[in-house]
Amino acid sequence: MENFTAYNPTTLHFGKDVLRALGPTINRFGKKVLLVYGQGSIKKSGLYDEIMTYLNAIGAEVSEYGGIRSNPVIEDVDAAAAIGREKSVDVILAVGGGSVIDSAKVIAAAIPADVPAWNFFVRRAMIRCAVPVVAVLTLAATGSEMNQFAVVSNHEAEVKNSIGSPLLFPKHSFLDPQLTVTVPRNYTAYGITDIIAHALEAYFGKGEEATLTDRFVFDIIKEVMEYGPQLLDDLTNYELRAKIMFAATMALNGMTMYGRASGEWGVHSIGHILSLLYDVPHGASLSIVYPAWLKLQKERLPERISQLGRNIFGTGDVDKTITMFEEFFRRIGSPVRISEAVGEKADPDEIFRVMGSNKAATYVHKLDQDDYREIIRLMM
């Protein structure tokens, strides 16, 4: 096993009606709240009103920033941080999926630093403090509710990039599976893909001797492969929503990294390019890239892929394992080729160019220019 440090201070409130504790929780941090949310679904669902009721009950002064996009952009972060700074907010309340929570984390760091938020991503600024973030999760996928990472796009720089800091863990996250029952079928499927991809990025990282952690990875994948398709046939089933929501959090809260020196994250990096260029939903980008990446790696990592297949599908055959992942993604309706996601508009040369500037190769299993070309070919 590789040396590692485990640290995760987030308090997770999971289950039916846990939002009842939201008011008192916010109140511990202060009255001046910056409410951050996405493109209005929380207003349609009534969640916005419910949350305002809790905030009014504690006499909160609420500022708000709505309109965070599903692939969040740095301009929204800076605009929201300006509001938070002007109002000297005590706490940020993020209500939404990973994009909203990720944005809230960067806003939290940008408010006290008083610099353009992109500076954190290019290491022109360090995260030295952050406004506390409390999250209410409405989409099971990214795990942002219980980790220290944030991913944001900068279209001007043609980069979708991530940052992490122990200061960015949400202080509290509220996970009521009831809030996810309105998530449509396709985004539910992309969430399932995201969970599997997170588990795989850990598995293909540095630290193959972490046998118990590998078991956790297999179980997360088996859990969502068993219950994910059932959920897609029964979208309002609480128990199934709960299982997937819980699995999403476990897939990226640190535990899949115990005993490893680093995760792989090459697939995410390439997936981010598809999101950046063609606005492919994050999870959908991963079901496109992962099969291609596995095919590229199959002669380089045969034992690792074979062990994965044995544990997930009961086959040690590498090709069969990759096919079965691809079949699973197809079955749940998550695309496995770029064309399935964006039709004919994807341009291999454009992807190749942006891959280079994103330095997609700087990962555990290094990729060179020929590998980029091959992965793109396999994704088309």
In the complex, the smallest distance separating the C-beta of residue 196 from its own copies, rounded to whole angstroms, is: 14
A 10 A CB-CB count for 377 gives: 12
Under the binding rule (CB under 8 A), the answer on residue 4 touching its own copies is yes
User: Using the rule CB under 8 A, which residue among 179, 220, 289, 351 binds its own copies?
Assistant: 220
Tell me which amino acid residue 121 is.
F
- d(C-alpha 207, C-alpha 25), whole Å: 38
In the complex, the smallest distance separating the C-beta of residue 228 from its own copies, rounded to whole angstroms, is: 12
In the complex, the smallest distance separating the C-beta of residue 176 from its own copies, rounded to whole angstroms, is: 9
DSSP annotation of 172 reads E
Q: Kindly tell me the burial class for residue 82, based on how many C-beta atoms sit within 10 Å of its own C-beta (0-12, 13-18, 19 or more).
A: middle
Contact 298, 251 (CB under 8 A): no
Chain-centroid distance of CA 212 in Å reads 23
Which tokens is 195 given?
Answer: 């969970």
Tell me which amino acid residue 22 is.
L
β-strand pairing of 159-164 with 133-137: unpaired
A 10 A CB-CB count for 300 gives: 10
Within residues 249-288, the interface with its own copies by CB under 8 A covers 250, 255, 258-259
Under the binding rule (CB under 8 A), the answer on residue 170 touching its own copies is no
Question: What are the distances in angstroms from CA 255 to CA 213, 226, 228?
Answer: 7, 21, 21
The site string for its own copies over 133-152 (x = CB under 8 A, - otherwise) reads -------------x------
In the complex, the smallest distance separating the C-beta of residue 148 from its own copies, rounded to whole angstroms, is: 13
The site string for its own copies over 185-214 (x = CB under 8 A, - otherwise) reads ------------------------x-xx--
Under the binding rule (CB under 8 A), the answer on residue 319 touching its own copies is no
Give the total of residues touching its own copies (CB under 8 A).
37
Under the binding rule (CB under 8 A), the answer on residue 314 touching its own copies is no
List residues binding its own copies (CB under 8 A): 1-16, 18, 146, 209, 211-212, 215-216, 219-220, 222-223, 227, 239, 242-243, 246-247, 250, 255, 258-259
